Amino acid sequence: MSKLTHRTLLALVAISLIVVLLAGCAVPAAPPAAPVEKAAPVEEAVEEPSEEPHVNPLGLEPEASTEGVFFEGGLGRAYLDNAAEIFARVHPDNPMSVEGIQQVSERLRPRFIEGNPPDVIDNSGAFALPRAPLVDEDQMADLAPLMNAPSLDTPGKTFGETLMPGSQDSGVWDGTQRELNITMTVFGIWYSQTLFNEMGWEYPTTWDGMLDFCEAREAEDYNCWTYQGKFPQYMVFGVLTPLIYKNGGLQAIIDIDNLEDGAWETDAVRKSVEQMAELAKREFIMPGTEGLTHTESQAEWLQGNAIFIPNGSWLENEMRDLTPEGFDMVVAPVPGTTEDTSHSLLANAGEPYFVPSAATNVEGGMEFMRVLMSKENAKFFANNVGVIMPIIGGTEGVELSSALESALGALDGAGDDIFADKFYLGGWYTDLKNEVKDRTGDLLTNRITVDEFIEAMQSKADEIKADPDVTKYTRES
């Protein structure tokens, strides 16, 4: 008997056992077997498991272990543990380890160099592995087998067909699906709806209205703004990029992404930088913000020491333990120059996962992602993390928090006017990301002027464009 045949037979035996163990689980159960009046031919018994393609479509070998290493940040790890429990239920003979870390690049770069990366990775956080170099070096496996595999718990659909349309576009590199985004993230400005109700305040609908609102609140001894001082990139995706879109439309974002000549020097970008800089010039930012980490600044905001903070929709879960009862945090789009642009929203599918092509168990890594993004785990995610997975039907029957309800409302209000960039959120150019992060920090502490900010950004974009060693990417929409 050849090795392949032996594995196949073992897999079929395992599948038969799994069908029994799955009885009573959320995964669709096997149909009842037909009454047997006489011994079935051997070949029919071998073919029967193929009727359960959702159980092990990727060919996970019996007893093969799977190692997952995941960024453990604002989303916590409960949803990972829940997915691991589902994995164990579906594959009781296959060990699955789940490890949460923060410094993804520092921890995993040595393993890539040694050629023994984990089987599946959540490559997120401020210290994620640079994505473009991983693609250039063919370190990310092609996820086509996963996309074409049957869904775990949506009968009649492939895994890919259960994902919200467009949600995985940023994980496609040169036509190949290399990453999967597990969250549908809304970016914007957060505040306490309870505070606004008590004070009779209205959220501003224009940027000038925002500045007027802050002027009034400062006169009443409120700090209007804080941000994640040591990580000023929160003000990039939380304020600057939305302002660029509202002032210059999607083309302004595309030109920056495509490294077009003078993209940072347009009137729309200048106006956007000037608008953001007004928060610092007019001293609307809480004193001491620069020295705070993301969680420290968010804690200050929860304690009522500032009215607004920029963030993504992971905020609720990240600060769950420190959120006062009745705070009712909500998110709103960044106000535009005019009211008719205020509804547009920066939102994208994020928290990218990938399977290293050099992993010991590539099939196991993909199988964990199939389980992770099942409808069952998506509902757990919405219920316990307060964030949406881009899974069709993933919030059915879920009781919505104020944060999640406002995020869904913002998505609904934006309609088709939803956008995202590639230069920062898409991870196309690491050096450009670092430059905009650092210069934003300088701008918001009045260490540089708007002109100096624009000059620095255009210079860095030109430098990247001229570097033959940097792989270039383009987008048209």
Closest by CA to 133, choosing from 473, 476, 477, is 473
pLDDT in tens, the chain (477 residues): 333 233 333 333 333 333 333 333 333 333 333 333 334 444 434 444 444 667 899 999 999 999 999 999 888 999 999 999 999 999 999 999 999 999 999 999 999 999 999 999 999 988 899 998 899 899 999 999 999 999 999 999 999 999 988 788 889 888 899 999 999 889 999 999 999 999 999 999 999 999 999 999 999 999 999 999 999 999 999 999 999 999 999 999 999 999 999 999 999 999 999 999 999 999 999 999 999 999 999 999 999 999 999 999 989 989 999 999 999 999 999 999 999 999 999 998 889 999 999 999 999 999 999 999 999 999 999 999 888 899 998 988 888 899 999 998 998 899 889 899 999 988 889 999 999 999 999 999 999 999 999 999 999 999 999 999 998 989 888
Q: CA geometry: angle at 21 spanning 18 and 24, to 5°?
A: 130
Contact 309, 189 (CB under 8 A): yes
DSSP class of residue 309 equals: E
Q: Report in angstroms the alpha-carbon separations of 113 from 45, 109, 125, 141, 363.
A: 46, 6, 21, 16, 21
| Helix orientation angle between 450-466 and 267-281, rounded to the nearest 10 degrees | 130
- Statement: the pTM of the whole predicted model exceeds 0.85: no
Q: How many helices (H) and strands (E) does the chain have?
A: 18, 10
Q: What DSSP element (H or E) covers 351?
A: strand 345-354
Closest by CA to 159, choosing from 149, 169, 171, 168, is 149
Per DSSP, the three-state class of 114 is helix
Contact 362, 432 (CB under 8 A): no
Contact 351, 124 (CB under 8 A): yes
Residue 193, number of CB atoms within 10 A of its CB: 17
The rounded distance, in Å, linking the Cα atoms of 366 and 389 is 17
Residue 250, number of CB atoms within 10 A of its CB: 16
Q: What is the pLDDT of residue 47?
A: 42
In the beta sheet, which residues pair with residue 336?
Answer: 206
Q: Report in angstroms the alpha-carbon separations of 224 from 179, 243, 283, 352.
A: 38, 18, 9, 33
Contact 287, 295 (CB under 8 A): no
Residue 154, number of CB atoms within 10 A of its CB: 18
Closest by CA to 330, choosing from 201, 419, 469, is 201
Q: What is the pLDDT of residue 53?
A: 64
